[in-house]
Amino acid sequence: MNLKSMSHVLSVIRRCDVILKNGQEQFVGLYYDSSFDMPIVLFKCDWHFNYYLSKITELIGVPCIDNRVLARALFEKIEEGDYIENAFMHSVATIYSKLPKYKESKEVFDRELGADIISQVYWQEEKTYKREEKKFFQKNKKFCNKQLTEKIAAEMVQKKVAQIAEKNKLDYRIIHNVEKATYEFYLETKLEDYKLDFWQMLIISEPEKKVYVGNRSVFHCFEVNETEVAIEYFELLADILSKTIKKDARKYCEEFHINQRLYDIGNSSIKSLLEMNYNWKGTEYGFDDKEKTIFIIYLRSEKEPEKMFEICGTYAEFMRNPDAVKKLIESPKAYNKWNLWCRKRKYKNEKFDEKFQK
């Protein structure tokens, strides 16, 4: 930057969100605004007042962080006034997420993100259980044992529940509710890192002569004389939980988790890509960003106006590979990865931005 005076130096520094330095050799000031695609390099300096510059940042309260690798890379590869490159997105966003000025909004964002992650994990859980439940009842016809009483049924389940728990490394609880005349069996486990809990139950009701089996995603009622099938179903749910649900939940949590700066950068970048594509090709679009975990893009088909393309992906995948999303926006086509996909659907006017709605 052509620094005309020391007052000019100070005014530029005051505008910066953070200054990265490489020892006392190179200084890089970054600035970000929500209207930007991503942070810009506001100024670079490697002149003889560097020591003075480091002291000035302390006086005027701009965070000055010694990050030699990142400071050197930005100094050498990014011009003043230019956006940072995709390769530096994650490192810069990590810096921003720790700045004091973003802490309050970060707490709000983290709460919203946490709720969205739980919602997404439970939605995926429900899909898995219902798919496997359908297969189970297609293969297993109900088997009736007329000799069973509620007490005998409870004894059968009690013998089996400990085995199921041990096989699947789950905790279990057994409760005999005398007042309500029920025998209750629970399997539980947790994903401690993300404060997620998973459970399932089997309840035998003497007054109703029913056996209830389920969890938060699926629920099924059996007659007492169908207890053997109920136990098989209960064991199936436990197998799914230990072999699939917990593993997938961890994968989803790791993929969906993103810090606020990365989210802001990704969100504004996608909006810019959509607007640039509209200005270039005239493609009408919609952008659903209600969730902090995923984004959904709607693009009207050029060849079939009654159709639209729906692109769905995680923000983490966008940050890793923004070019893949850019290509789908410019030339939408069938694409299928678990964290980024595109498919053609019937056109729905309400999915598009207001400026395109008739």
Among candidates 210, 192, 264, 201, which has minimal Cα distance to 237? 201
Instruction: Answer for the pair 215, 191: CB distance below 8 angstroms, yes or no.
Output: no
pLDDT of residue 47: 63
pLDDT of residue 48: 55
User: Confidence band (pLDDT; 50, 70, 90) for 2?
Assistant: very low
**Each residue's pLDDT tens digit, 82-137:** 998 878 887 888 888 778 766 656 777 888 888 899 889 999 999 999 999 999 98
CATH architecture of the domain formed by 6-98? 3-Layer(aba) Sandwich (3.40)
Please give the backbone phi and psi of residue 343, each rounded to the nearest 5 degrees, phi first. Answer: -145, 160
Please give the backbone phi and psi of residue 302, each rounded to the nearest 5 degrees, phi first. Answer: -70, -35
Strands (E) across 46-122 are located at: 64-66
pLDDT of residue 88: 86
Q: Which residue has the higher pLDDT, 345 or 55?
A: 345
pLDDT of residue 248: 93
Single-letter residue type at 269: S
**Each residue's pLDDT tens digit, 235-277:** 999 999 999 999 999 999 999 988 888 898 899 899 999 999 9
User: Confidence band (pLDDT; 50, 70, 90) for 1?
Assistant: very low
Single-letter residue type at 1: M
As a whole number, mean pLDDT of residues 324-352 equals 95
Q: What is the pTM of this model?
A: 0.67
Q: Is the per-residue pLDDT at 55 higher than 70? A: no
Instruction: Answer for the pair 74, 29: CB distance below 8 angstroms, yes or no.
Output: no
Q: What is the number of helices (H) and of strands (E) in the chain?
A: 11, 14
Q: Is the per-residue pLDDT at 174 higher than 50? A: yes
Among candidates 60, 70, 92, which has minimal Cα distance to 21? 70
Please give the backbone phi and psi of residue 293, each rounded to the nearest 5 degrees, phi first. Answer: -95, -35
List where CATH 3.40.1690.10 sits in the chain: 6-98
